[in-house]
Amino acid sequence: MNPTISTGRQTGLATDSLSVWLEQGRARRPIAESISLRVAPGESIAIVGESGSGKSVTARALLGLLPPELTSEGDVSVAGTSFLRLSEAARRRLRGNEIAFIMQDPFTMLNPVLKVGDQVTAALRGEDGRKLSKAERRAEAVARLNEVGITDPAVAGKYPFQLSGGMRQRVGIAAAIAENPRVLIADEPTTALDVTTQQEVLKLLDRLRKTHELGLILITHDLRVAFATCDRVYVMYAGQIVEVGETDAIRTQPRHPYTAALLAAEPPLDHRVPRLLTIPGSVPSPGSRPDGCRFAPRCSYAVAACTDSPVSLRITDESGEHRVRCDRAEEITLITDEAAGGPAAGAETVQPGDLLVKMRAVRKNYQDKVAVDGVDVDVYAGESVGLVGESGSGKTTLARMMVGLTRPSAGSVRVGGVELAAKRVSRQQWATVRGLAQMAFQDPMSTLNPTRTIGSTLREGLRLSGADDLEAATAELLERVGLPAGYAHRWPGQLSGGERQRVAIARALSRNPRIVVCDEVVSALDVSVQAHILNLLRELQADLGLTYVFITHDLAVVRQITDRVYVLNHGKVVESGQTPDVLDRPAHDYTKRLVASIPRVEQ
């Protein structure tokens, strides 16, 4: 057996050429290839990659918990034993005990019909292996919850649905580490959480890593989170590790063009850039990965030789810590966002045009819950207004009221001179509003009708706006959002996430509106795709003179796309003003907390 694998007890967890295959009848497709990684007790590593990189599959392979259609090869060493060669029963004993796992969504990870305390203590046994008494279980539950920062003992007797997302994720962590494992694999543990909660959970993981000597494997798509939390970073692309190194080395001196491109695509929080750098094309699916360097077709530094033969992971520094899967790593100088230009265009104040949307003292109640509580918002022609807040802040409700999808309970909403809070809004008035303001949604998959082609979806709006030649208008619309005209004949299911979002934007544009209300349009997208969409939105604004209302929780996105911003908390506007002023000099405590919660490397 491989000698490196026998040092498991010291290394915590190590893999040796772990590969995952998709079995389809006789065909075998690699999903993740020759993944070699290690994490020592008390160390934290990050596996970073976009969707399709194979990072989540790798996490499940580490636990021996792949879905039935996937198989793994190679070995994982846990606590000095070859984990994947053990029997299923033996592996089950190690899971939770030596190696633990927490998942992305705290809303689905916990059992909804079991009390929190019972879930946390489910795996616990007494010294002699007997079951714990009810009183012992309760005491253990309270103690374990206390460890993850839940000090209220009553929580143990509650059900998950009675807790907030952050609390649930804490409960999940408490349950996962109840048996004091050595390694914790966290698959996107904060992606579903609000920024302020995200920061608390990341801090908690960091603290547990130190107090419990826990080896932490953090799977994430977010480079900021990885840099802020982990000692070392593994960057994955199309099933391979393309770069490994100390966090600082990866952050400041990435050697792989993909890593550099990812870093550059990340919208900066502290300044507005004229144009975000993007990566052309999209991540290849497992069946269509190119020979040679996987990234070559999208790489601006690629030469003919790059596609000749598979590229191996090479050491590129003296200490042997920094390894890169690029043959040209030494020859090329990578451009990061700093080189692309600092604060510049777009940051100038927009001259306000007519007042298009005027909301005064708007309230919205759902039974006894107040979603929006007396809010004033103005939107002027030609500007881009951000509505920022966490879940439950009322930002989406506000946006829906702007386009007439939700009726306000009180107050006044005037859109293009039409009072939407009125008892009766005539057909004529609705036509005015719909022609003026359109909405684009977060998840284009669920808002595009899967049984209609893209063209047929777009033609619906075009017909209403009175276009003469529908075919030509559809082609023009697709071209506007950067898609080939041929896409008119495709179905929503055939498109990638980014392409679908472009279609969703095109659909909003089909009525030729002056205002586009964008509800979290980039939050479900990978960074590189997000950069494409943000650039597109800016181009559209410049070309068509559009007005945007941009709903988002992401302050870096707010910085890039908005001129003015309203910060919402619990249904109220707590702060508003020019975007740079609000982000650089937040006045309200909540805004300060929001800005401070962005994961960043402590200098």
Binding site for other proteins (CB under 8 A): 63, 65, 92-97, 100-103, 105, 108-114, 122-123, 149-152, 154-155, 158-159, 161-164, 166-167, 170, 172, 175-176, 178-179, 200, 203-204, 207
State the minimum distance, in angstroms, from the CB of residue 167 to other proteins: 6
In this structure, are residues 58 and 229 in contact, taking their beta carbons and an 8 Å threshold? no
- Nearer to other proteins among residue 161 and residue 430 (C-beta): 161
State the minimum distance, in angstroms, from the CB of residue 185 to other proteins: 8
- Nearer to other proteins among residue 200 and residue 575 (C-beta): 200
The C-alpha atoms of residue 196 and residue 568 are separated, in whole angstroms, by 14
- Nearer to other proteins among residue 97 and residue 496 (C-beta): 97
Q: How far is CA 211 from CA 41, 148, 208, in A?
A: 11, 11, 5
Structure tokens at 177: 């580490």
The C-alpha atoms of residue 412 and residue 592 are separated, in whole angstroms, by 30
- Nearer to other proteins among residue 102 and residue 433 (C-beta): 102
Pairing of strands 183-187, 99-102: parallel
- Nearer to other proteins among residue 155 and residue 439 (C-beta): 155
State the minimum distance, in angstroms, from the CB of residue 555 to other proteins: 21
3-class DSSP assignment, residue 371 = strand
- Nearer to other proteins among residue 188 and residue 337 (C-beta): 188
State the minimum distance, in angstroms, from the CB of residue 32 to other proteins: 18
Pairing of strands 515-519, 547-552: parallel
State the minimum distance, in angstroms, from the CB of residue 189 to other proteins: 12
- Nearer to other proteins among residue 26 and residue 423 (C-beta): 26
- Nearer to other proteins among residue 29 and residue 207 (C-beta): 207
**In sequence order, what are the residues at sequence separation of 6 or more whose Cβ sits closer than 8 angstroms to the Cβ of residue 479?**
485
The C-alpha atoms of residue 455 and residue 526 are separated, in whole angstroms, by 25
State the minimum distance, in angstroms, from the CB of residue 426 to other proteins: 39
In this structure, are residues 414 and 357 in contact, taking their beta carbons and an 8 Å threshold? yes
In this structure, are residues 188 and 201 in contact, taking their beta carbons and an 8 Å threshold? no
In this structure, are residues 149 and 163 in contact, taking their beta carbons and an 8 Å threshold? no
State the minimum distance, in angstroms, from the CB of residue 180 to other proteins: 13
Nearest to 120 by CA among 176, 166, 160, 167: 176
- Nearer to other proteins among residue 149 and residue 292 (C-beta): 149
State the minimum distance, in angstroms, from the CB of residue 230 to other proteins: 19
Q: Give the count of alpha carbons within 13 A of 527, CB side only.
A: 23
Structure tokens at 324: 């890169």
The C-alpha atoms of residue 26 and residue 484 are separated, in whole angstroms, by 35
Count CB-CB contacts under 10 A for residue 161.
Answer: 10
State the minimum distance, in angstroms, from the CB of residue 385 to other proteins: 33
3-class DSSP assignment, residue 228 = helix
